[in-house]
Structure 1
């Protein structure tokens, strides 16, 4: 076991240390510049999906809005509450600026990976679609790269469906025990049963639940942050100035100065919004849309919501309070966020935060499960395999909740995510010309006066596209 921990620790250091983050940043900047700042050009169009404007009729299909909310539910999790606090503790207030910066760049990366997932999606017998990196690797790069898609799928199952779901169960149980006094066993059993009810209903039930839970979750947390901001409105200019000054080393809040701010901001930002990691494309592919770029634009919005909005809420809750002390690390993570919120509005806030963590974590569990299901469907077509995965996820949620130290055995999760991210970025780099081809087609149709561009499959006859997935689009 010790040998395995050492091996996976080395893999984690290699991927998340010197290779993955620079790769993500450089590619994000490259995609942004070569695409002509696409995420800013179509920023206004991103919000139309919230009112279902411009979306095709999707009876029997997953709508673009539902796919967006599932991915938002997955991106928005413990990292938005605890991760931001850790970034500020270790990197100072300036880390928040670099989280914003990497999110704006990551919006372009997310647009391209999700558009490719849409283009190469596969239709299913029940009227849904499946797609994601494994499928755009095999359809876009060819069967000779199937081994790369298999590697990606195995890492996706290991990290998201198994490891991270145990962590989410642990997070919910810890919060319920600390603030409500509920025994971990009861929390674990309840969470496992609720998870089973949702995941055994497939992607359609997952999407329906997300359509209800995610707006409540996001609006509730944003509303609380707005109350905190309103209470301290006169201090906002000072806080923003402090964030910028710390970001560029004009003022230092922690040891390491600007370097610490950049490192923590980029790391936590990328970990939170997942742009470029290849997870969100699995969900983006299920939507019924007229053109792949349409869903790519929508998925860019989920990055914006995750980091620019939700992470900023946590940052302002912390920085506007008096609990955070620059350079001090005795109070960090979710405790720092919780105590900061209590200092603003009172003791009842700890119960609100527990409820928020419950919703955030539960939405992540069903999202993580679907990523695993989608990856497993690529590896095997046997229905029994999916049912086994569902039972395993329920069991791991229970194990993670009931045994505080047990989740340490899932030491492979982060390294596996690092590998799948590297695989996805390699594939994105190789398929980027196809992504630009889609984008140019989309822009051309808009320029000609088409309000809602439609994919003409005949123009892509040289590509291995599942025509069944696009036959009804108009």
Structure 2
């Protein structure tokens, strides 16, 4: 067992410990510059997705908004509550600034990886689509790289469907016990039943659940943060100055000063928004959109919501409270956030926070399952294998909830996520020129006066694309033909 533990420890050191975070930052900056600051260019356009509907009218199709909310549900989790608190504790207020900075860079990375996922997606034949890094590795880089796609799929399934779901089950049951006094066994049974109901409904039911859960989750948490901010509005400028000053070493809140703020901000920000790690593109590929860039823009908004909005809520709740003291150590992340909230608005708020944690954990469970399902389909299309996966996920969620010690078995999750990131970064680096071609197509249509650009796969004959996955293209050609015939 020690050999296995040491092996995965080495993998984590070679990825997260040494070079991965700098590579993610540098590549994010490279994408930002080479794309002409695309995340800034289309920033206002991102918010249109919040009001979008199913565009084809197919009852099975996943709308851009539903795909957005599923990915937000996956990105937003314990890291937004506990992780931000840990970053501030270890890196000081300046860590928040660097979380904002990496989010702005990550928005460009997320746009590219999600655009590629859309570009190389495949139709399931029932109005739904599948895709992600494994798909753009196989169809973008070529079948000779299928082994790399398999490596990616195995790591994705083990890390998310099993490892992270065990942790989320543990988080869910712990929150229920601490806030409501319900034994872990009963909350575990309840969570397992609800999880089973949703995962057996496939991506359609997952999307419908996210369409309800995520807005509730976000509005509750943002509402609490706004209440704290309004109650301390006169102290807000001082907190913002502290964030900026500490970020550049103008004032030192913790040992390590500027270096600690930078390291904690970048690390926690990347862990939270997952930009470049290759998880969210699996969900991005399911959306029914007119153009791949449309979903890329949408997923940029997902990063913005996760870090700039939700993480900032946690940061202001903590920094505006008397509970936080610079250099504070030895306090759990969730506890710091909870105590900060209670000190501002009263004891009743801890129950609202517990409810938010429940929703965060549950939304992550269904997101993690779908990533596992996507990974499985790369390796096999057998129905029996899919049923086995669904049953295994339900069991893992139950065990994680009822036996907290069982989560120690999934120590391999973080190292495997590091492998995922390396594989995904290699793929998008190699396919970045293709993404730029698609981006140029989108921009040229906008320049020509097309309000809602439509992707025409026939215009890219050199790419291995599934033309049946683009029904809008067919309708556009038919409409143009009709207009020419009647002209």
Following TM superposition, by how much is the alpha carbon of 1:468 offset from its aligned partner in structure 2, in angstroms?
A: 1.1
Partner of 1:160: 160
Partner of 2:137: 137
Q: Aligned runs of 1:286-365 on 2, under 5 Å?
A: 286-365=286-365
- The answer to whether 1:202 aligns with 2:168 is no
Following TM superposition, by how much is the alpha carbon of 1:53 offset from its aligned partner in structure 2, in angstroms?
A: 7.5
- The answer to whether 1:171 aligns with 2:186 is no
How far apart are the structure 2 equivalents of 1:58 and 1:84? 40
How far apart are the structure 1 equivalents of 2:174 and 2:60? 39
Partner of 1:441: 441
CA spacing shift, 1:471–1:333, aligned 2, 3 Å: same
How far apart are the structure 2 equivalents of 1:329 and 1:189? 35
Residue deviations 1:215-247, cap 9 Å, x none?
000011101100000000001100000000110
Following TM superposition, by how much is the alpha carbon of 1:297 offset from its aligned partner in structure 2, in angstroms?
A: 0.3
Q: Aligned runs of 1:394-413 on 2, under 5 Å?
A: 394-413=394-413
Runs ≥4 in structure 1, deviation > 4 angstroms? 53-58
How far apart are the structure 1 equivalents of 2:381 and 2:242? 54
- The answer to whether 1:457 aligns with 2:435 is no
* C-alpha contact (below 8 Å) 2:60/2:204 kept by paired residues: no
* C-alpha contact (below 8 Å) 1:58/1:288 kept by paired residues: no
1:253 match: secondary structure? coil
Following TM superposition, by how much is the alpha carbon of 1:60 offset from its aligned partner in structure 2, in angstroms?
A: 2.8
Residue deviations 1:56-93, cap 9 Å, x none?
64543100010000000000111000000010011111
Residue deviations 1:425-466, cap 9 Å, x none?
000000000000000000000001000001111111110001
Tell me the TM-score normalised to structure 2 length.
Answer: 0.96
CA spacing shift, 1:174–1:54, aligned 2, 3 Å: closer
Partner of 1:100: 100
Partner of 1:42: 42
Tell me the TM-score normalised to structure 1 length.
Answer: 0.99
Q: Aligned runs of 1:43-442 on 2, under 5 Å?
A: 43-52=43-52, 57-442=57-442
Instruction: Give unmatched runs, 5+ long, in structure 2.
Output: 477-487
* C-alpha contact (below 8 Å) 1:56/1:290 kept by paired residues: no
1:127 match: secondary structure? coil
Aligned length: 474
2:225 match: secondary structure? helix
1:405 match: secondary structure? helix
Residue deviations 1:321-350, cap 9 Å, x none?
011111121223101001101101111111
Following TM superposition, by how much is the alpha carbon of 1:358 offset from its aligned partner in structure 2, in angstroms?
A: 0.4
Instruction: Give unmatched runs, 5+ long, in structure 1.
Output: none
* C-alpha contact (below 8 Å) 1:120/1:464 kept by paired residues: yes
* C-alpha contact (below 8 Å) 1:133/1:278 kept by paired residues: yes
* C-alpha contact (below 8 Å) 1:89/1:332 kept by paired residues: no
Following TM superposition, by how much is the alpha carbon of 1:270 offset from its aligned partner in structure 2, in angstroms?
A: 0.3
